[in-house]
Amino acid sequence: MRWRRDFVPPALLIVVLILGWYFVARVSGLRSFILPTPLDVFRAGWETRGLLLNAIGTTLLATGIGLMLALVAGIGIAALVDFWSLAHRALYPILVVSQTIQILAIAPILIIWFGFGLTPTVLIVVLFCFFPLAISTADGLTSSDPELIALLRAMGANKRQIWRIVRLPSALPSFFSGLRMAVTYSVVAATIGEWVGGSPGLGLYMLRSKNALATDQVFVAMFITSFLSIALFMLVYGIERLTLPWYHSAQRTEQWEGPGIY
Amino acid sequence: MTIPRIEFRHISKTFFGIAHAVPALQDISLKVMPGEFVTIIGASGSGKSTLFNLCVGLIEPDAGEILIDGEIPQNRTGMVGYMPQRDLLLPWRSVLDNVLLPLEIQGIPRKESRQRAFDMLPHFGLEGFENEYPSALSGGMRQRAALLRTWLMGRSTLLLDEPFGALDALTRKELQDWLLRVWQEFGRTVMFITHDVEEAVYLADRVIVLSTRPGVVRRELKVDLPRPRRQRMIAEHRFGILVRGLLADLGVDV
pTM: 0.81
Mean pLDDT, rounded, for B26-45: 90
Instruction: For residue A58, give its domain range.
Output: 37-244
Tell me, yes or no, whether B244 and B164 share the same domain.
Answer: yes
Q: How far apart are CA A133 and CA A129, in angstroms?
A: 7
Tell me, yes or no, whether B120 and B224 share the same domain.
Answer: no
Instruction: Please determine, for residue B253, whether its predicted confidence score (pLDDT) is greater than 80.
Output: no
Number of other CB atoms surrounding residue A57 within 10 Å: 12
Structural domain contains residue A6: no
Structural domain contains residue A251: no
Q: How do residues B198-251 score in pLDDT, each as one tens digit? A: 999 999 999 999 988 788 888 888 988 888 888 888 888 998 999 998 888 888
Instruction: For residue B114, give its domain range.
Output: 90-154
Structural domain contains residue B1: no
Structural domain contains residue B111: yes
Mean pLDDT, rounded, for A243-250: 81
Structural domain contains residue A191: yes
What chain B residue is nearest to A243 in terms of C-alpha separation? Answer: B92
Structural domain contains residue B129: yes
The CA–CA distances, whole Å, from B151 to A157, B155, B157, B232 equal 16, 7, 9, 28
CB contact under 8 A, A145 and B77: no
CATH number at residue A112: 1.10.3720.10
Tell me, yes or no, whether B11 and B67 share the same domain.
Answer: yes
Structural domain contains residue B127: yes
- Residues near A143 by beta carbon (within 8 Å), at least 6 away in sequence: A170, A171, A174
Q: Given A147, A166, A246, which is nearest B84 (Cβ)?
A: A147
Q: How do residues A182-239 score in pLDDT, each as one tens digit? A: 999 999 999 999 998 878 899 999 999 999 989 999 999 999 999 999 999 999 999 9
Structural domain contains residue B85: no
Domains contained in chain A, number: 1
pLDDT band, residue A257 (cuts 50/70/90)? low
Domain termination residue (choose one: B139, B154, B169): B154
Tell me, yes or no, whether B105 and B124 share the same domain.
Answer: yes
Which among B17, B92, B84 is positioned nearest to A144, based on CA atoms? Answer: B92
Instruction: Please determine, for residue A262, whether its predicted confidence score (pLDDT) is greater than 50.
Output: no
Q: Given A151, A153, A249, which is nearest B133 (Cβ)?
A: A249
Tell me, yes or no, whether B166 and B240 share the same domain.
Answer: yes
Residue type, B138: S
Domains contained in chain B, number: 2
Tell me, yes or no, whether B123 and B227 share the same domain.
Answer: no
Tell me, yes or no, whether B131 and B171 share the same domain.
Answer: no
Q: How do residues A216-230 score in pLDDT, each as one tens digit? A: 999 999 999 999 999
Residue type, B38: V
Say what angle helices A118-142 and A168-195 make with each other, to 10 degrees.
Answer: 160
CB contact under 8 A, A151 and B88: yes
**pLDDT at res. A250:** 62
Domain termination residue (choose one: B135, B154, B173): B154
The CA–CA distances, whole Å, from A157 to A82, A153, B61, B98, B153 equal 19, 5, 21, 14, 12
Q: Which stretches of chain A sit within 8 Å of chain B by CB?
A: 145, 147-148, 150-157, 161, 165-166, 169-170, 172, 244, 246-247, 249, 251-252
What chain A residue is nearest to B87 in terms of C-alpha separation? Answer: A148
Tell me, yes or no, whether B196 and B126 share the same domain.
Answer: no
Structural domain contains residue A252: no
Structural domain contains residue A78: yes
Tell me, yes or no, whether B108 and B125 share the same domain.
Answer: yes
Tell me, yes or no, whether B10 and B45 share the same domain.
Answer: yes
**pLDDT at res. A260:** 45
